[in-house]
Chains A and B, each alone.
Chain A
Amino acid sequence: MTHSSFLQDELKISSKEEDNKVTLKLEGALSATTVPYFRQTVQPYLDRPVAEIILDFAGVTKVVSRGVGAAIDVAVQIKKIGGRMRVENIGKFSRSLYIQGVHLVADVPELEGFEP
């Protein structure tokens, strides 16, 4: 795989922290290219740690299984240290996240009672 400076996937993450909870707003692609940035951005909240990480997918334009795997990993890591992860606004990616079992490790309100 090669990278192109002008066509490769991009991801922006903005954070808002309140009451030991952090909301991370994702904008762009959660893909193989952007997974390192995603992990690097989330890691400080696992190190401290915070009680809850909320991933807001409202601005996500593309998801690949590798990206979903990284999100699952964060959910598992925070659970191990007594915290939790919540994923919101998954919209059209509901089936993809359900198939990968995100709801098994994180709170995903849109997948409660979801029938694929």
Chain B
Amino acid sequence: MADTFIKMQISIPPIEGVEDIPVAAVEALAAKMGFSPDRVQDIAQALTEACVNAIIYSDSDADVEIVILACQNSLILEVRDKGPGFEPDAVPPPNFELISEMGVKNGGFGIHMIKALVDKLEIESSNKGTVVRMSTFLSKADN
């Protein structure tokens, strides 16, 4: 048995609402690892956003996979879908001035939110699918 990290994997169908199950599991894990309640909430919110994006933009019936890597000092979450992909660098940050004038007609700012909630965000995307990798590191403040 490996003692440097523990890997877990959950597959869910692309049905909005089902992501609550892996999110609840990750919340329990993050709390057990020693993350503070605020950081547990950040991790849960980031995972929710990533899963919902994968579900909403998935064109196929293929499952969305959530890969969890629990290391001694970090928690790495991957959300993998088989959707059509997107260009991560083409997603602009929210323009709050414009939003205050025009409102928000559709969608939100999921990627922006994830970026703000975790320590490191990596996105690999192609026309065969997307992997969103979110890393959060345990800090002294968590203990």
* Residues of A near any B CB (own CB < 8 A): 1-4, 7-9, 29, 31-33, 62-70, 72-73, 75-77, 92-93, 95-96, 99-101, 104-105, 116
Size band of the interface chain B makes with A: 35 or more
Q: Considering the chains assembled together, what is the distance between the CA atoms of A2 and B107 in angstroms?
A: 17
The 8 closest A-B pairs by CB, nearest first: A65-B108, A76-B103, A69-B104, A69-B108, A73-B103, A8-B17, A66-B108, A65-B110
- Select the stretch in B48-56, B124-132, B134-142 that faces chain A: B48-56
Contacting residue for A33 out of B17, B38, B101, CB 8 A? B17
| B residues near A76, Cβ cutoff 8 Å | 99-104
> In the bound complex, do residue A68 and residue B16 qualify as a contact, i.e. CB atoms below 8 Å apart?
no
> In the bound complex, do residue B16 and residue A77 qualify as a contact, i.e. CB atoms below 8 Å apart?
no
> In the bound complex, do residue B16 and residue A9 qualify as a contact, i.e. CB atoms below 8 Å apart?
yes
* Residues of B near any A CB (own CB < 8 A): 13-18, 20, 38, 41-42, 45, 48-49, 52, 55-56, 58, 61, 94, 96, 99-110, 112-113, 116-117
| A residues near B13, Cβ cutoff 8 Å | 2
Q: Considering the chains assembled together, what is the distance between the CA atoms of A99 and B105 in angstroms?
A: 18
> In the bound complex, do residue B108 and residue A67 qualify as a contact, i.e. CB atoms below 8 Å apart?
yes
> In the bound complex, do residue A8 and residue B48 qualify as a contact, i.e. CB atoms below 8 Å apart?
no
* Chain A nearest Cβ from B127, distance in angstroms: 19
* Chain A nearest Cβ from B42, distance in angstroms: 6
